[in-house]
Chain A
Amino acid sequence: MIGGGTNVTAIVVFVAFVSLSLFITWWAAKKTHSAGEFYTAGGKITGFQNGLALAGDFMSAATFLGLTGLAFIGGADAMLYTVAITVSWAFILFAFADRMRNLGRYTFADVVAFRLQPERMRVLAAAGTLTVAIPYLIAQMVGAGSLIETLFNIPYLGAVLIVGTLMTIYVVFGGMLATTWVQVTKAVLLLAGGTVLLVLVLSKFGFSIDSLFRSASDAHPRGKGIFQPGVLYSDPISVVSLGLAFICGTAGLPHVLMRFFTVPDARQARRSIGYAVVIIGYFQAAIMIVGIGAIALLIGQPEYVDDAGRISGGVNMVSIYLSRLVGGEIFFGLIAAVAFATILAVVAGILLSASAAVAHDFYARVIRKGDISDDAEVRVSRIATVIIGAIAIGMSVLFKNVNVAVLSTIALAIAASVNFPAIFLALFWRGLTTRGAVAGGVTGLVVVIVLVVLSPTVWVNVLGNKVAIFPYAYPTLFSVAAAFAVTILVSVADNSARAQIDRAAYSAQLVRSETGENS
């Protein structure tokens, strides 16, 4: 642990969580036989449970630890992220929830393949899923490995193996049912832990918001400057691009979209995302207060922050240190264990979406053209889970020093630029054709990768050049615009016989997407 010694609470809580999650997996395994049960828990999750699980999917270690750290270094600027995140979930509720649920069965590929040429769209969707899921998995696991190394004194390799093995066990045996309940358990733990942290921080200031903010600006060398926007971003394009990254990116995350299909109908889908907005919004607001509290309480503590204002062990440690400062060793151990549990639950969801893309969209639907028994499909999914799990473990060990922020940016940008335009236009634009969707998806993918390489995060920080060719950290504004433009232009110009079918089938899709009834 930090400062030596092993935190007994952390280990007890973590072992309890793992035991409970394995019990959930054992229970879920008895109920998971068909493909529908494996991918979507048979559509039997309630709106409230699914809302907790959705919020849990999103509240990864990156959002909990990363955003508190961001508030610590960026002050008011971090609020741009928390507001963009909350708005993005409300947007998913308004724009996507009911139509997605009514059109899909297991994955978002079902939705884009509904009226477009099914094989080509499924290949595109499977590629869009894997190019998001694999970098996301590696980012989470590398982050987890380093965090656990610091927190529990477990070597990096051991930490990655524990996380990788447990996530594979949850998914292989318990499918979506186990993944959901592990996620719900973790969401409750994280919400409880975060709320206690919030109350403890506020209690240090006599529950006075005035005193909290005053102490923060008094403690910080920049004084009231921390309340002025413009440290982390300073131009309108960054604001728009960051907003788009979260709004389109979150709405294009395969493991989030897959959760729409775990509830019985469109009404429950709306309810689940409604609950998710409430939980995520509350948590984002709490994180901002805790982050400002961290400025007030941690600065001037040489044990945690050096004279230059740098946090020892990196900004991800802010909430961990803060919990020790306000709650003592027991609470500190609790938060550390919850952070570990958070990572475990999130990677399981991502792994399940990746294995569904390989087994359902690619193997069962494209290679076998649907000619496959339910049992065989579940078997293929389990094999795919083990293989992808092993690849993720291997790559996390290999790329121990990869920049986690770059990987997450790429994953979110690909979700926004490849998956989102295809889903959005398939749902709302009659004119979309298969050729347009494929051309737009490929464009989005290429533009993201090129712009990320040319951006400051890779061109300057990784490759060591002096000036970035592309000046913005988030490529989303340009890649999403390019993907939409190419999709629309190619669709309009498309005179193929398939294009006629694609457009004509929109009416039937519209009725189905609004009523949920087979026409």
Chain B
Amino acid sequence: MGGETELLKDPEFQRLLVRRSRWRWGLSGLLIGAYLVWGIGGIYFAEAYAAPFMGIALPWGMAVGFLIIAMSIVLSMVYVRVVNRLEADEALEQDKHR
């Protein structure tokens, strides 16, 4: 049981944990928050949601819905790139230390 507690005390590893959890909960919170605000907002502002979006017949509420879907796609792609690159860098670092 010695190895992992040592690694847990390592400030490098602690920084890695903090960085990863920032990405994890930051992005999750952003998207789930967007869903809730948009979804619950629809109940109280139904008429505004049905209003045409920038002059075309596409309603505002649905335009924002498409935007949240697009945001999920873009943020997922960013997350995979960034976190996978972080991990690749760390693997390199560790190799250097060995």
Binding site for B on A (CB under 8 A): 76, 79-80, 82-84, 86-87, 89-91, 93-95, 98, 209-214, 217, 224-225, 227-230, 233-236, 239-240, 242-243, 247, 266-267, 270-271, 273-274, 277-278, 281-282, 284-285, 288, 507-508, 510-512, 514-515, 519
| Additional pairs, 12, CB under 8 Å, beyond known A228-B50, A230-B46, A271-B84 | A76-B49, A90-B75, A91-B28, A91-B31, A91-B32, A95-B28, A213-B57, A229-B42, A239-B42, A267-B88, A271-B80, A273-B76
Q: How far is the CA of A285 from the CA of B58 in the complex (A)?
A: 13
* Distance A285 CA – B73 CA, assembled complex (angstroms): 11
Contact B3 A519 (CB under 8 A): yes
CA distance A210 to B72 in the complex (A): 25
Residue-wise interface mask of B (40-83) relative to A, using a CB-CB cutoff of 8 A (1 in contact, 0 not): 10110011011000001111011001101110110111011001
User: Are A87 and B61 closer than 8 Å at their CB atoms?
Assistant: no
B1 at the interface (CB under 8 A from A): yes
Is the CB–CB distance between B68 and A514 below 8 Å? no
User: What is the predominant secondary structure among interface residues of chain A facing chain B?
Assistant: helix
Q: Is the CB of A234 within 8 A of B43?
A: yes
Q: Contacts of B32 on A, CB cut-off 8 Å?
A: 87, 91, 243, 247
Our pick among A95, A227, A242, A270 for the contact of B61 (Cβ within 8 Å) is: A227
Option from B17, B58, B84 in Cβ contact (under 8 Å) with A267 = B84
Please name all residues of chain A whose beta carbon is closer than 8 Å to the beta carbon of B58 when the two chains form the complex: 209-210, 213
28 contacts between A and B (CB under 8 A): A76-B50, A76-B61, A82-B65, A83-B65, A84-B39, A86-B73, A87-B31, A87-B68, A87-B72, A89-B76, A90-B76, A93-B76, A94-B23, A94-B79, A98-B83, A209-B58, A211-B57, A213-B58, A225-B50, A235-B43, A236-B43, A267-B87, A267-B88, A285-B66, A510-B8, A510-B17, A511-B8, A519-B3
Contact B36 A240 (CB under 8 A): yes
Interface centre among B1, B5, B31, B49 (most CB of A within 10 A): B31
**The residue from B49, B50, B73, B84 contacting A277, defined by CB atoms under 8 A apart:** B73
Contact of A83 with B73 at beta-carbon distance under 8 Å, contacts A93-B80, A217-B57, A229-B46 already known = no
* Residue of B whose beta carbon sits closest to that of A93: B76
For A228, what are the chain B residues with a Cβ–Cβ distance below 8 Å?
Answer: 46-47, 49-50, 61
Cβ of A83 and Cβ of B76 under 8 Å apart? Answer: no
Chain A residues positioned under 8 Å from B62 (CB to CB):
76, 79, 227, 288
Report chain A residues within 8 Å CB of B84. 267, 270-271
CB <8 Å contact, B79 and A270: yes
Determine chain B's interface SS by DSSP, over half rule.
Answer: helix
Q: Name B11-48 residues within 8 Å CB distance of A.
A: 13, 16-17, 20, 23-25, 27-28, 31-32, 34-36, 38-40, 42-43, 46-47
Q: Which residues of A contact B17 (CB under 8 A)?
A: 510, 514
CB pair B40–A90 under 8 Å, yes or no, is no
Is B93 an interface residue, CB under 8 A from the partner?
no
Alpha-carbon distance between A93 and B20 when the two chains are bound, in angstroms: 13
User: A229–B35 contact, CB under 8 A?
Assistant: no
| Cβ-defined partner of B72 (8 Å) among A80, A89, A225, A288 | A89
B21 closest partner in A (C-beta): A428
Q: Of A89, A214, A285, A511, which one neighbours B4 at CB under 8 angstroms? A: A511
Chain B residues with CB under 8 A of A266:
87
The 4 closest A-B pairs by CB, nearest first: A229-B42, A213-B57, A227-B59, A274-B80
Which B residues lie within 8 Å of A511 (CB)? Answer: 3-4, 7-8, 13
A271 to B84, CA, bound (A): 9
Distance to closest chain A CB from B52 (angstroms): 8
A273 to B17, CA, bound (A): 21
Residues of B within 8 A of A508 (CB): 1, 4
B76 touches A278 (CB 8 A): yes
B88 to chain A, nearest CB (A): 8
Q: What's the nearest-Cβ distance from chain A to residue B11, in Å? A: 15
- Pick the contact of B77: A239, A274, A284 (CB < 8 A): A274
- A273 / chain B contacts, CB cutoff of 8 Å: 76
Provide the residues of chain B in CB contact with A247, threshold 8 Å: 32
Asked if A79 contacts B27 (CB within 8 A), the reply is no
Q: How far apart sit A273 and B84, CA to CA, in the bound complex (Å)?
A: 13
Check if A277 sits within 8 Å of B72, measured CB to CB: yes
Which of chain B's residues have a CB closer than 8 A to the CB of A93?
76, 79-80
Inter-chain CA distance A508–B17, complex, in Å, is 14
User: Do the beta carbons of B36 and A281 come within 8 Å of each other?
Assistant: no
- Point out the residue from B35, B61, B87 that lies within 8 Å of A84, measured CB to CB: B35
Does A94 contact B72, Cβ atoms closer than 8 Å? no
Contact status A95-B76, CB under 8 Å: no
Q: Once the chains bind, are B77 and A83 in contact (CB under 8 Å)?
A: no
Q: Is the CB of A514 within 8 A of B20?
A: yes
* Residues on B with beta carbons closer than 8 Å to the beta carbon of A212: 57
A274 to B77, CA, bound (A): 6
A229/B61 contact (C-beta < 8 A), A90-B31, A213-B56 known: yes
Interchain nearest-CB distance for A96 vs B (Å): 10
| Given the contacts A90-B76, A243-B35, A270-B83, A229 and B43 also touching, CB distance less than 8 Å | yes
Task: Give the docked Cα–Cα distance between A519 and B49 (Å).
Answer: 53
